[in-house]
Structure 1
Amino acid sequence: MVGVSCAGSGDGTIKLPSLPYNADALEPYISEETIRFHYGKHHSGYVKKVNRMIKGTAYANLGLEAIIQKTRGNADEIGIFNNAAQVFNHTFYWNSMKPGGGGAPTGIIAEKIEADFGSYDAFKTAFASAALSQFGSGWAWLVKDGDALKVIKTSNADTPAEGLIPLLTVDVWEHAYYLDYQNRRADYVDAYLQHLVNWEFAETNLVG
């Protein structure tokens, strides 16, 4: 798990990372209203909940990724995992977008997509299909698996499994798009791909 920093602060708390742009910067594709609810209510809510849950526990002074790794698959710690993973996922999502982004990439990431998917259009089809076929809440991801890129989807708060390096993600929980797109998830995913993807972030994660 790479690409974003959500480490513990040293005082037993996980901090809410700042948005990498202003709340209105992704308009008209994602509205300021959506950002203020999504980041200001949902994302910040996960930060508050995980801090309440880890207070006084062995997780209190760990970084976010360590908390996720130690609670993954542990039924007794599912609440901690869900909230910690959602802090990570949302932080990764904000960084996966930028104003004036989207469209076909260039550089190393473009060459790798061409090699592993056959074309950018083939990647775009695979990514959109994962995002649209995720039943209920979850995420679609571009990940590096060994030497190959692939598209996966995860349910609810889950993150890519150990060994997979996330490069990009799109949030397909309804709170990510409903104010702007209602039930038109396909239009939201298309806007993400055409106008918002931060390919520089993906390439940074790819090359390490």
Structure 2
Amino acid sequence: MDEHYPFELRPLPYEYDALEPYIDKATMYFHHDKHLATYVQNLNKALANYPRFHTWSLTELLTNLGRIPRPIQTAVRNNGGGVYNHNLYFEGMTPNSSREQAGWLGDAILQQFGSYQIFEERMKQAALDRFGSGYAWLVSDKQGRLKILSTPNQDTPLPLCPILLLDVWEHAYYLKYQNRRGDYISNWFNTINWKVANQRYAVCVGRPEL
């Protein structure tokens, strides 16, 4: 992500209720306008007195955490990760999910996992196995090899290239699903923006024209 300080809250690419019945309006409002907005504010606050880093992109900050001054390193890791992860999450969903738009990524999923069903089962298991808060990810290396993994809290899979992520923090689903995390995870697959996912995959392997 090329944005740099001061970071801004990106608008949702759809209405708050657009993902119903899978994700409800209230959850989308609080998740985006409250939780994500707080990460943006806290990231800017952490960087405010460190002009050296004002030209660094979000990706640069998160892939060079060892170069961030110790007094703000944890704040940048947590809040920068919160901004990065949530932007990918919200922009990776759509009310018009269509696997027909998976394109080259769809071919890679079939080749490397054997079927969409196996991909979904492994992605779901990664999300279910994540104890506490975090994310399940579909990522790629520069050679286009896909991998499913999970990260805790607001950690990212960088330098691996993110394609899809599933937020399993409780605030992502608890208003609607309460403790039924598995139901939320299963329904999330109905919201995947395969067009965006395919575009991300093409960028990952250095072929954005695909």
Q: Secondary structure at the match of 2:64?
A: helix
> Where in structure 2 are the equivalents of 1:176-195 lying within 5 Å?
176-193=172-189, 195=190
Aligned counterpart in structure 2 of residue 143 of structure 1, from 136, 139, 142: 139
Q: How much does 1:100 deviate?
A: 2.6
Contact 1:72-1:81 within 8 A present in 2 as well: no
Give the alignment of 1:80-119 within 5 angstroms.
Answer: 80-101=76-97, 106-119=102-115
1:74: how far off?
A: 6.4
C-alpha spacing 1:95/1:173, structure 2 compared with 1 (3 Å): same
The question of 1:63 aligning with 2:57 is answered yes
Q: For structure 1, list consecutive stretches of 5 or more residues without a partner in the other structure.
A: none
**Counterpart Cα distance in 1 of 2:11 and 2:136:** 23
Share of identical aligned residues, percent? 38
Correspondence 1:170 to 2:163: no
Provide Cα deviations, 1:47-96, integer angstroms capped at 9, x if missing partner.
Answer: 00010110020223322112212226969211111101110000000011
Normalising by structure 2, report the TM-score. Answer: 0.89
Q: Distance in 2 between matches of 1:118 and 1:72?
A: 39
TM-superposed deviation, 1:189: 0.6
* Contact 2:144/2:201 (8 A) holds in 1: no
Task: Tell me how far apart the structure 1 counterparts of residues 128 and 100 of structure 2 sit (CA, whole Å).
Answer: 20
Q: Match for residue 36 of structure 1?
A: 29
Partner Cα distance (2:58, 2:202) in 1: 22
Which amino acid in the other structure matches residue 181 of structure 1?
Y
Cross-structure match for 1:202: 197
Distance in 2, matches of 1:114 and 1:23, equals 32
What letter is aligned with 2:43? V
**1:133 CA drift (Å):** 0.4
Equivalent AA in structure 2 for residue 35 of structure 1:
M
Q: CA RMSD in A?
A: 1.8
Change (3 A) 1:125 1:160: same
Cα distance in 2 for residues equivalent to 1:103 and 1:141: 18
Runs of 4+ in 1 over 4 A off after TM superposition: 72-75, 102-106
TM-score by length of 1: 0.90
User: Do the aligned residues in 1 keep the contact of 2:164 with 2:197 (CA within 8 Å)?
Assistant: yes
| Distance (Å, rounded) in 1 between the aligned partners of 2:116 and 2:66 | 33
Please give the alpha-carbon distance, in whole angstroms, between the structure 2 residues aligned to 1:140 and 1:103.
19
Q: Are residue 156 (structure 1) and residue 134 (structure 2) matched?
A: no
Q: CA deviation at 1:147?
A: 2.8
8 Å contact 2:2–2:57 — kept in the other structure?
A: yes
Q: 1:73 to 1:138 in 2, by over 3 A?
A: farther
